[in-house]
Chain A
Amino acid sequence: MTEGGDDERLLEELLAGKHRALARTISKIENRAPGYRDLVSELYAHTGEADVIGITGSPGAGKSTLVDKLAEAYRERGETVGIIAIDPSSPFSGGAVLGDRIRMGSTIGDMDVFVRSMSARGTLGGLSTATADAVKAMDAFGKDKVIIETVGAGQNEIDIVRTADTVAVLVPPGSGDDVQTLKAGILEIGDIFVVNKADRDGADRTVQELRDMVAMDAGDGFGMSGAGHHGADAMQMDDHGHDQGHGQAHDQDPDPHGDEPETWIPPIVETIATHGTGVEEFIEELENHQQYLVASGTRAEMARKRYAEEIRTLLREDVHGLLEDELEDAGGIDDLAEAVRTGETDPYTIADELLEPVEMCLEDLEREG
């Protein structure tokens, strides 16, 4: 096994468009196999072309189906698509059944849609790093669009979709109270809200509730244009006398692209993913958002933030790894925990003791510098 040579060939094959090489690279990333870091750092030079879209929402909201239709629509335009579908894994056995693939039937048999299922594997914050790296691999491979699909259940998932340029949050209809709970974390990350299954009862209400929420979030009705979506506007808070238009800045808005407001107000799109209804509109909004990101300079700022976060996460994980070894040397976490349980010591003391050599090394370095 000549690791270095193998990885070089892998990289070459990936850049040449060999599917197997992309698949293998993502496995290496997931497994944190030896050499994966060098591989990923080589990938960076070849990235930056793909639009990265994150799709999140509660289980059963229709994420996979919508992603499937989205991929189909992109393929019809001749664009290639990479999909990373993330499912939770069992915290008990570590096993997982990754089921998103089943719902992606429209593009089956089309190798230019590369679907990869990933599980959480219980790694501490590691999944967002792995996802970001897998996105890099797909980007370097030459995918035009990379879609990340994940259940929006917690901080971990939120970190994952943050690797995307545009985040769409799916809200199933009739989830009045759910919309309330969404407020907590998901509202902040949604660039676009999608009310899927729009033919179901309660869809109008859900749209309305989202609209109110977005309006409230935007504050004071300021920059309200664009918050609205089609349909009866009787219930719309039209305090400014606007007839709320159709999505963001693409019809009857007086200043669609002229002096675009600096803030993006999330549009609300209605879709029926199983029939493909509303998918075109969704794509339009995704594109609007991409344009906004570029025009407002947000894209560069986001990229900076993301890389800063990546650097921090990497460092944290590396230090964590170093400390794991320390822990082993100190007799393993179980013994230390037992010592705390029996009252011999406490977690803070242990942490201080374990950190001491690291701190000493750093101090030495500073003195030398």
Chain B
Amino acid sequence: MSSEQEGESIRCLVAKVGLDGHDRGAHVISRAFRDAGFEVIYSGLHKSPDDIVQAAVQEDVDVLGISILSGAHNTLVPKIIDGLEEYDAADDTLVLVGGVIPEEDREGLKEEGVAAIFGPGTSIEETIEFVRENAPER
């Protein structure tokens, strides 16, 4: 416990954007992250990209996990990443996308700055492992 005194914890924002009310996945991920020892901030449903950017900047999160099952990812995700850039936060925030993202859209999102996309069937361990390994050093 002693070395934990300077304890840096991985901070994550789990975000739901747009008109998508399916939050089971986001809840499961939030709990799993918590149990992995991360600090999780959950955005709540139906947030706009600006809301997400505001929360990510103010909370100074290491990881932003966006959950989208509405199919609007090609519009919403770039808006969020642009917003992060506006506040100089894009470079050291690990942006993840979870949900239903068709194969043909994945390359485009990654070019926008998404580090990884976790589709249906991804194991929670895999996601946690990825976060642990890739959370930005600050």
Contact = CB atoms under 8 A, between A and B. Distances in A.
A89 B34 CA distance: 9
Interface stretch (B57-65, B74-82, B97-105, B109-117): B57-65
Interface string A26-52: 110001110000000000000000000
A10 to B, nearest CB: 12
A261 interface: no
Contacts of A115: 55, 58-59
A169 B129 CA distance: 42
A270 to B, nearest CB: 28
B25 to A, nearest CB: 15
B20 interface: no
A127 B11 CA distance: 17
Contacts of A324: 2, 5
Contact of B7 (A99, A105, A123, A328): A123
B8 interface: yes
A294 interface: no
B6 A114 contact: no
B5 A23 contact: no
Contacts of A101: 41-44, 55, 59
Contacts of A24: 60
A95 B34 contact: yes
Given A108-B51, A109-B51, A115-B58, A93 B7 contact: no
Interface in A119-152: 119, 121-123, 126
A341 interface: no
Given A23-B59, A117-B59, A123-B7, A98 B54 contact: no
Contacts of B67: none
Given A94-B4, A95-B36, A114-B58, 18 more contacts: A19-B58, A20-B57, A20-B60, A23-B57, A23-B59, A27-B11, A93-B34, A95-B37, A97-B40, A98-B40, A99-B42, A101-B41, A101-B55, A108-B51, A108-B54, A115-B58, A122-B7, A333-B2
Contact of B39 (A32, A96, A114): A96
Nearest to B14: A97
B135 interface: no
A327 interface: yes
A311 B124 CA distance: 44
Contacts of B58: 19, 23, 114-116
A97 to B, nearest CB: 5
Nearest to A114: B58
B39 to A, nearest CB: 5
A321 B138 CA distance: 23
Given A31-B6, A108-B51, A109-B51, A20 B40 contact: no
A152 B6 CA distance: 25
Contacts of B31: 97
Nearest to A117: B41
Contacts, number: 103
Interface of B: 1-2, 4-9, 11, 30-31, 33-44, 47-48, 50-51, 54-55, 57-60, 87-89, 138
Task: With a 10 A CB-CB cut-off, give which of B33, B60, B87, B138 has the most chain A CB atoms.
Answer: B60
Nearest to A121: B7
Nearest to A25: B60
Contacts of A99: 41-42
Task: With a 10 A CB-CB cut-off, give which of B8, B35, B41, B48 has the most chain A CB atoms.
Answer: B41
Interface in A284-338: 321, 324, 327-328, 333
B2 A327 contact: yes
By Cβ-Cβ distance, the 5 closest A-B pairs, closest first, are A95-B34, A23-B60, A102-B44, A27-B60, A94-B37
B5 A321 contact: yes
Contacts of A122: 1, 4, 7
11 contacts: A19-B57, A20-B60, A20-B89, A89-B39, A95-B9, A95-B36, A101-B41, A101-B42, A108-B47, A116-B58, A123-B7
A69 B53 CA distance: 22
Contacts of B59: 23, 101, 115-117
Task: With a 10 A CB-CB cut-off, give which of B5, B44, B51, B57 has the most chain A CB atoms.
Answer: B5
Contact of B42 (A32, A102, A328): A102
Contacts of B89: 20
B5 A123 contact: yes
Contacts of B6: 31-33
Nearest to A119: B39
Contact of B40 (A32, A96, A121): A96
A197 B54 CA distance: 29
Given A98-B41, A99-B42, A20 B87 contact: yes
